[in-house]
Amino acid sequence: MKNISGFPLFIGLRNFYTFRKGKKRTMLGAAVAVALSVIPLVVVIEVSDGMIEGITRRFIELETGHIQLSPLKDYSVSDFERLSAELIEMPEVLYASPVFRGTALLYSDSGRTGVQVKALKPDLMQNDQGFSEYLEIVEGSFDIASPSSIMLSREIASKLDAGTGDSVKMLTAKTMTNGRIVLRPEEFRVTGVFSTGYYEVDSLTAFISLDKGEKIFSGEGFLSIQCKITDPYNDAGRIAVKISNESKLDVSVSTWYGLQKSMYESLYTTRLVLIFIMTIILIVASVNITSSMIIMVIERRPDIAILKSCGAKNSQIRLSFIITGVLTGFFGAAAGISAGLLISVNVNRLISVFRNISDLLSGSGSGDSFSVASASSYYLENIPVDIDPLKILAVGAGALILSVLAAVLPARKAEKMTPLEIMQKH
């Protein structure tokens, strides 16, 4: 037996797959515990990464741009248009355009709601690839060329019960030099309805033309330039410094991360907390391997005594039980990763099914019941899932390492048993 190099592997396999009939505890149960702990860890990693990526992309492409330039003095839209033209000449810049923002009340015969109005250039959809990629036209077309044209998000259109061709009114406030506030109504015709897939944007946003926005919000709104670059994740800071140094206007230059640092840090902190909790669950599952193997060692004491009497080394006994732990962790991790990936890839379908069931049970079809799976309950309509092989391998490696560590104590216990000690107890 001393010359059989595969002996520990053979015993390790027998410990794993023959410890079944007539026994109340099996290593299969420990493997299932590992699998059940790996599943949520994989889902949290993949889905949270997808959500953060989806939110980030929509926010920087539709809201802030990759780099934002804000005036430190009073500049007109024409000043910022000239600066935008200069920025586009830079090799790293893909597109730059002025944006006027303001707040208003939109109302129709069927409802009213507060909105954030963004005044954009009419050719934005054609020239800004990132904007067009993440903006879905649900109804009509992207047409804000006319001063009376307005684009509504799907959420706002639903609140106002307005669609393409309908008229809506916008109420804005103007503070006069004497401090008096004057309310100014404007009538617009809806030319299209859009969706970003990001509820926080869809619930507030409407688009009008840049010229109209300057007339309405001059002195009250916020003028900026949204700049798009080739690599917003790695080059935004460097290019922002370059723009700041070369700009002929007195402007403040901010990167997309600087504008919403608190939001992104909150998202990543939440992600890390969830991963930490799931890791603790995995550690607890690995303890189940230790308890199952300790019981197995106790029940297999006669077998261990026979093996040692026949010449099996202590190191071989120890290695055989460690192999059992490795096998338990491997099969548990493999099953858990497979199930976790399956859930992650189909997470949008599962959410849709859950939402339908929730709507059915809550009776939300009546229009005034709350559904826990409604659009306002989560950020994105569709979560982008991009499987990262390195992270999946890290989860699998972590599960294996924990399984090996969990098997060390039972293995050492089996190693220290002597045939005489075992026979005396029997």
Of the candidates 385, 320, 321, the residue with the CA atom closest to the CA atom of residue 348: 385
In the beta sheet, which residues pair with residue 158?
Answer: none
pLDDT of residue 366: 47
Between 381 and 347, name the one with better pLDDT.
347
Q: How confident is the model at residue 28 (pLDDT cuts 50, 70, 90)?
A: confident
pLDDT, tens digit, 9 for 90 and up, residues 155-197: 999 999 999 999 999 998 877 766 677 788 999 999 999 998 8
pLDDT at 4 over 80: no
Amino acid letter for position 272: L
State the DSSP code for 386.
-
pTM: 0.74
Q: How confident is the model at residue 26 (pLDDT cuts 50, 70, 90)?
A: low
Backbone angles phi, psi at 376, to 5 degrees: -75, -10
pLDDT of residue 153: 92
> What does the domain layout of the chain look like in residue ranges?
7-55+264-425, 74-249
Residues near 192 by Cβ (< 8 Å), separated by ≥ 6?
Answer: 137, 138, 139, 140, 141, 142, 143, 151, 152, 164
Residues near 95 by Cβ (< 8 Å), separated by ≥ 6?
Answer: 88, 127, 128, 129, 227, 228
Which long-range contacts (C-beta less than 8 Å, at least 24 apart) are formed by 397-400? 398/279, 398/282, 399/34, 399/38, 399/282, 399/286, 399/329, 399/332, 399/333, 399/336, 400/326, 400/329, 400/330, 400/333
**Residue matched to tokens 């903006």:** 135
In angstroms, the CA 235 to CA 254 distance is 13
Rounded (5°) CA angle 363-366-370: 55
Q: Are 222 and 102 in contact (CB under 8 A)?
A: yes
Q: What is the mean pLDDT of residues 14-39?
A: 71
pLDDT, tens digit, 9 for 90 and up, residues 241-292: 988 888 878 889 999 988 888 888 888 888 888 888 888 888 888 887 888 7
Q: Are 285 and 27 in contact (CB under 8 A)?
A: no
pLDDT of residue 348: 83
* Exposure class string for 141-155: b at 16+ Cβ within 10 A, else e: ebbbeeeebbbbbbb
Of the candidates 399, 406, 405, the residue with the CA atom closest to the CA atom of residue 42: 399
Q: Are 132 and 143 in contact (CB under 8 A)?
A: no
Q: What is the mean pLDDT of residues 15-19?
A: 62
Sign of CA dihedral 256, 99, 83, 125: positive
